[in-house]
Amino acid sequence: MKLNPDEEELEHIRQEIVGFIRREVAHAGAEGGVVGISGGVDSALTATLAKEALGSKLVALIMPERGVTREEDVEDAKELASRLGISYHLVEIGDAVARVLNSFPVDAFPQRRRKIAVANVKPRLRMVNLYLAANLSNSLVIGTGNKTELLLGYFTKYGDGGVDLLPIGGLYKTQVRALARHVGVPERIVSKTPSAGLWRGQEDEAELGMSYDELDRILYALYEEKLTPEQAAEKLKMELSRIRAVYKRVEANEHKRRMPKIKAF
């Protein structure tokens, strides 16, 4: 698959993902799916394809954190669900986050470690809500992560990484945006500044240190074209240090992409 697929290829990808969702839900003996909608392009695309696959058997959760989640994201999520005809529940997680943090001695740990540790509580609580809804409805949790995030480890282990299916997990962010436009996701969602929304003002690309466009070009060269970092740097006309930084991040986060290791006897 090309990093920038044409319309014919995008239509093929759409059909493949819809069929994948439908088959996996049926194979599991489940009655439907549950998806979290954040107001971003990844969840919007996933919800759109899951709705096509499952129809009324898809339920969505919108899980903002008061004072942190952008209001525009909540409104975009609601509007998308309504436009697609997806039944949804609005679950505010702020009180649950506060209870977890108030019950644990966070202050006893080094200050430098607290920001990410506390932030990761939020996607893990969202995962709890998704599985509660899934268990109540005999459904599978449909994840919204893309291949760029999965390779980089830019997700929370047992948080937004805790799902049953990853329908767009084989697509780079560049391809996600293209497919989202192809299936009619509103442009304001597609072109929105990406943010995991774990603290006020968070932006993915600022945290990652590169744009998704640049990251995808590097990752595609390394993992689809199978180039060495040196070859990728030459082909892409980029500094080798940037290529190596991405490569090292992928390798360091391998543990997030595999099942826990079991001691064999």
pLDDT tens digits, one per residue of 65-95: 999 999 999 999 999 999 999 999 999 999 9
Question: Which pLDDT belongs to residue 200?
Answer: 81
3-state DSSP of 174-231:
HHHHHHHHHHCCCHHHHCCCCCCCCCCCCCHHHHHCCCHHHHHHHHHHHHCCCCCHHH
Interval 95-147: pLDDT, tens: 999 999 999 999 999 998 999 999 999 999 999 999 999 999 999 999 999 99
Closest by Cα among 168, 212, 164, 159 to 42: 168
Q: How far apart are CA 77 and CA 83, in angstroms?
A: 10
- Taking the C-alpha atoms of residue 25 and residue 186, their distance in angstroms, rounded to an integer, is 27
What dihedral do alpha carbons 143, 184, 182, 207 form, nearest 10°?
-50
Task: Look at residue 188 in the predicted model and tell me its pLDDT.
Answer: 95
Give the residue carrying structure tokens 């079991």: 262
d(CA 250, CA 247): 5
Contact 163, 126 (CB under 8 A): no
- In terms of C-beta density within 10 A (0-12 exposed, 13-18 middle, 19 or more buried), how is residue 27 classed? exposed
The first and second tokens of residue 85, run together, are: 């005809």
* Burial class of residue 125, CB neighbours in 10 A (0-12, 13-18, 19+): buried
Which of the residues are catalytic? Answer: 42, 149
> What does the alpha-carbon distance between residue 242 and residue 258 come to, in Å, rounded to a whole number?
25
Assess whether pLDDT exceeds 90 at residue 14: yes
Task: Using the predicted structure, report yes or no on whether residue 235 has a pLDDT greater than 90.
Answer: yes
Name residue 261's beta-bridge partners. none
In the chain, domain spans? 7-207, 209-255
pLDDT digits (tens, 9 = 90+) for 181-215: 999 999 999 999 888 778 887 788 888 889 999 99
Question: pLDDT exceeding 90 applies to what percent of the chain?
Answer: 91
Q: In this structure, what are the phi and psi dihedrals at residue 54, rounded to the nearest 5 degrees?
A: -115, -15
Tell me, rounded to whole angstroms, the distance of Cα 233 from its chain centroid.
Answer: 28
What are the residues whose beta carbons fall under 8 Å from the beta carbon of 106, sequence distance 6 or more? 114, 117, 118
Q: How large is the average pLDDT for residues 53-64?
A: 98
**Chain-wide mean pLDDT for the chain?**
96
Q: Please tell me the predicted confidence (pLDDT) of residue 152.
A: 96
CATH architecture of the domain 7-207 equals 3-Layer(aba) Sandwich (3.40)
Distances in whole angstroms, Cα of residue 177 to Cα of each of 3, 87, 245: 11, 24, 24
pLDDT-based confidence at 222, cuts 50/70/90?
Answer: very high
What percent of the chain is predicted at pLDDT more than 70? 100
How far, in Å, CA of 235 to CA of 173, rounded?
A: 21
